[in-house]
Structure 1
Amino acid sequence: MVYSDIHLPLPGFIALDWSLMVVALIPILIRVSMRARNRGLSTLASNIADGFVVLAWLSGCVLISINTWKNNLRMKYLSAPPETLYYGVPEPLSGHLLYVSWISLFFIYISLWSAKAAFLAFYYSIFSSQGTRTQIGLAAACIFTAATFLLHMFLIAFWCTPISLNWSPPPGEHLCSAVHSMSSVTVSTFTNITTDLVILSIPISTLLASKLNRTQRAGLAFVFLMGSVSILAALVRFICLKLVQSTPRASITHTIDVWALVEIVSSILAVCLPSLRTFMRRRGLRRPDGAIRLVSQPSSGVNSMDKSITRVDSEKSGSVRVAEAWYDRDEEGGFVTRPEPAKNVPYF
């Protein structure tokens, strides 16, 4: 099977890169603004999570800035004979372009692992009080994530010796790079996917043990779905490289760049989804499924302390807030009080 690169004018790739990063910036701004308004409720872990989200976006910006520079350079030589070009530029310039491209690889994985670290910090902020078993699981996941990050840094830096082989191979020898070797790419892809699976599996047992309504479960599933998009993007990149493993990577350079950016943006969106949901709720864009909005009013009976519940808006059965109490609807349509849910269980 022969794979061909994504066909899009070079200005189109530049516009696509920056458009995706703007899309990723919007939920980050919403997340940070909400944290600023609720500064008293922030914890060290939640602040660290915010810092990692911002770092993920900034690293992505460095990556697409380098891609923009490369594409602008290539546009200068669109009319040049193809046989005189290497990676889209004259061969004397290719060494510098490949050197900058090698540096950009570090920012791909800094961005991806920053998003993973933000997930872990977010989990710690809401699950750290769940018991020793959960804390041990979080610590193990953090150690594993740090180890896979260091593995990727070492793969990029030291797969080829001397390092200059990444951009300036000796005459008659092939270009060497961690992203050119299927052995390195296989290790990178599957440790990346394994790390995502470890992180996404952390809250499952804890949250399934909690009493979440249907909307919260659906929201949680959507968060996991967005997180799995990055796994899909990593697999697509791996398949594309596998299909052309015997040809120069210059033939699919845009495909690799686009799917790397999709992986970064989807990771950032997955981290920010809980904040987006809270933002929408506060703006009244969606009322929780299964909720009934009720108003407490003084009754007309003899005892002025009695309360009568006036139904304002009815949806499906679920938990409702009345005054300072929480109520569950019973099988006969009445309401039964129950304790208020733990405040550290997030709304998804």
Structure 2
Amino acid sequence: MVEKGFSDGKLNLNRDLEDPESAYVLLTNETLEDLLKLLYFSTFPYYLSLWGVKLYLLILYYGIVVPGTFPSSRLLLHALSVLTGLTCIVWIGINMFWCLPVSENWDVGGVHRACVAYYARAPYIVTVSMHAGTEILSQYDF
């Protein structure tokens, strides 16, 4: 399928057509679209695994904080669970729908030449903030 691209260490996704190592210059449009689709869809399992670890920690905390023993800790645990779930939903929404229509993420011939949420600053900052914030809050001493 790919003769040059996925395993080429010098290849980058710089949209500058003057860059001799840009995938936009070196790859065919079909191959570049495949690369961008792979990038788009591969972010979801990666980030969902991060929130999966948070879920497992919350399950562990629910086992440790037995109902009726520490009511304030149990209430904070419920709030943290809701917050973690909401941040996961927000993250999915931002990264999935940053570029509309969704096909803009891999449309190399479009106006934006593939609007890739993975490289946009705002989704990155929001994702890192939500991830770090829930990580810090999950370390609360239950």
Shorter-chain TM-score tier: 0.7 to 0.9
Q: TM-score by structure 2 length?
A: 0.78
Instruction: Write out aligned runs for 1:140-179 (5 A).
Output: 140-171=79-110, 173-179=112-118
2:78 is matched by which residue type in structure 1?
A: A
2:57 is the counterpart of 1:113: no
% identical aligned pairs: 22
> Deviation of residue 200 (structure 1)?
1.0
2:27 is the counterpart of 1:90: yes
1:86 is matched by which residue type in structure 2?
A: A
- Take 2:8 and 2:117, find their aligned partners in 1: how far apart are those partners? 28
1:147 is matched by which residue type in structure 2?
A: L
Q: How many correspondences in the alignment?
A: 130
Q: Which residue of the partner structure matches residue 128 of structure 1? A: 66
Is the 2:32–2:108 contact (alpha carbons within 8 Å) kept by the matching residues of 1? Answer: no
Structure 2: stretches of 5+ with no match in the other structure: 11-18
- Take 2:60 and 2:24, find their aligned partners in 1: how far apart are those partners? 41
CA RMSD after TM alignment: 2.7
2:121 is matched by which residue type in structure 1?
A: M
Q: Which residue of the partner structure matches residue 6 of structure 2? A: 74
Q: Deviations over 1:199-257 (max 9, x none)?
A: 111xx2x4xxxxxxxxxxxxxxxxxxxxxxxxxxxxxxxxxxxxxxxxxxxxxxxxxxx
Is the 2:104–2:115 contact (alpha carbons within 8 Å) kept by the matching residues of 1? Answer: yes
2:27 is matched by which residue type in structure 1?
A: P
2:39 is the counterpart of 1:101: yes
- Take 2:79 and 2:9, find their aligned partners in 1: how far apart are those partners? 50
Q: Deviations over 1:41-73 (max 9, x none)?
A: xxxxxxxxxxxxxxxxxxxxxxxxxxxxx9x95
Structure with more strand by fraction:
1
Q: Secondary structure at the match of 1:94?
A: helix
- Take 1:197 and 1:185, find their aligned partners in 2: how far apart are those partners? 18
CA 1:143–1:171 in 2, change beyond 3 Å: closer, same or farther?
closer
- Take 2:78 and 2:121, find their aligned partners in 1: how far apart are those partners? 32
1:105 is matched by which residue type in structure 2?
A: T
Q: Deviations over 1:140-189 (max 9, x none)?
A: 11100000000111011111101011111444534312222212211111
Is the 1:84–1:91 contact (alpha carbons within 8 Å) kept by the matching residues of 2? Answer: no
Is the 1:178–1:184 contact (alpha carbons within 8 Å) kept by the matching residues of 2? Answer: yes
Q: Secondary structure at the match of 1:74?
A: coil
Q: Secondary structure at the match of 2:139?
A: helix
Q: Which residue of the partner structure matches residue 32 of structure 1? A: none
